[in-house]
A = this chain, B = another copy of it.
Amino acid sequence: VPAAARLISLIEANEQKAKDVLRLLFPHTGKARVLGITGPPGAGKSTLVRSMIAEYRARNLTVGILAIDPSSPFTAGALLGDRVRMGPHATDRGVFIRSMASRGHLGGITAATPAAIRVLDAMGLERIIIETVGVGQSEVAVAATADCTVLVLVPGAGDAIQTIKAGVMEIADVFVVNKSDRDGAMQTLQEIRMMLQLRSDRGSRAGVLSTRADRGEGVDALVDAIEMHFRTTENSGQLEEFRLRCLKREALDLIGREARRQIVDNLDQRVVERIVESLRRRQLDPAGVAAEVLAAHVHSGDRR
């Protein structure tokens, strides 16, 4: 496990080595089941994740955690050495926690997360939980690449329904109303079920559960629902198809980033100065600049 921590740090630090390592690891990945836990700040995602770790460990499954939400205590722990605030799991070798809170990363979390998942997967961890805040576009996209996406909400569903309407709804496989002891829990469950009936595709089959994560209540049923989702989608072939779609999208994103880098690296300094000047004078807009640079690139490609 310390080896994995070093590996992830290496991947974050050195891009070429990262590529080599990930290429070698790739054939050994795909065995872990990946779970995305998302929801608004304050929904109790981290507490829920902690209860889920305990539940999975009780089922004798090893667990990796990737905390992407910057306000997650796992992230805070990770910043202090990956082991703080984990309570009973701090010394359990069947649990591995990693924070992805570092920003400014090339391509951001969308690019960095698949790599980190693969390292945990190749290590042999059987379940990988990604915790993201369910508000940002990139964050929701990351959760959506998980084999099973869990949306965590709290009673008093004005916010909940807004979040749901805003697009997170479409990507969730399991809905959890956490803090189920609060007023309005039943109503929120009802509202979610009603909205789900309007959802055409996988909505009708999505699970809707309530938990009280601070006491571990409902967590066994949640893990059952998640495991059921894994089994159902695996047997129907949907899981493989979905993963392939994610891999293809990842490859396409990399093509875009790589192409951009190659083009930008080969830019003539005089061209750059001319472009900057026409942007400054607002003669050429960014799209015009892009078109001109791409045309020049094709041209120079001809001469190679």
Tell me, yes or no, whether A251 is within 8 Å of chain B by CB.
yes
Task: Kindly state the separation between the CA atoms of A165 and B75 in the bound complex, as whole angstroms.
Answer: 12
User: Given A159-B71, A166-B71, are A287 and B22 neighbors across the interface (CB < 8 Å)?
Assistant: yes
- By beta carbon, the residue of chain B nearest A262 is B294
Tell me, yes or no, whether A154 is within 8 Å of chain B by CB.
no
Residues 161-188 of A, flagged 1 when their CB comes within 8 A of B and 0 if not, give 0110111000000000000000000000
* A291: B residues at CB distance < 8 A: 258
A255 close to B260 (CB less than 8 A): yes
Task: Kindly state the separation between the CA atoms of A19 and B26 in the bound complex, as whole angstroms.
Answer: 40
A138 close to B135 (CB less than 8 A): no
- 8 Å CB contacts to B: which residues of A234-255? 240, 244, 247-248, 250-255
B293 close to A26 (CB less than 8 A): no
A289 smallest CB distance to B (angstroms): 4
A287 close to B41 (CB less than 8 A): no
On chain A, the number of residues with a Cβ less than 8 Å from chain B's Cβ atoms is 71
Of the candidates A248, A255, A257, the one having the most CB atoms from chain B within 10 angstroms of its own CB is A255
Task: Kindly state the separation between the CA atoms of A109 and B304 in the bound complex, as whole angstroms.
Answer: 37
A150 smallest CB distance to B (angstroms): 18
A256 smallest CB distance to B (angstroms): 3
Chain A interface residues toward B at CB < 8 A: 19, 22-23, 26-27, 29-30, 40-42, 70-71, 101, 103-104, 108-109, 114, 118, 133, 135-140, 159, 162-163, 165-167, 240, 244, 247-248, 250-260, 262-264, 275-276, 279-280, 282-291, 293-294, 297-298, 301-302, 304
30 A-B residue pairs with Cβ-Cβ distance under 8 Å, sorted by A, are A23-B288, A26-B285, A41-B41, A41-B159, A70-B163, A71-B163, A71-B166, A103-B137, A108-B137, A108-B138, A109-B137, A136-B137, A137-B139, A244-B279, A248-B276, A248-B279, A251-B293, A252-B260, A254-B287, A255-B290, A255-B294, A258-B290, A258-B291, A259-B259, A259-B263, A259-B294, A301-B301, A301-B302, A301-B304, A302-B304
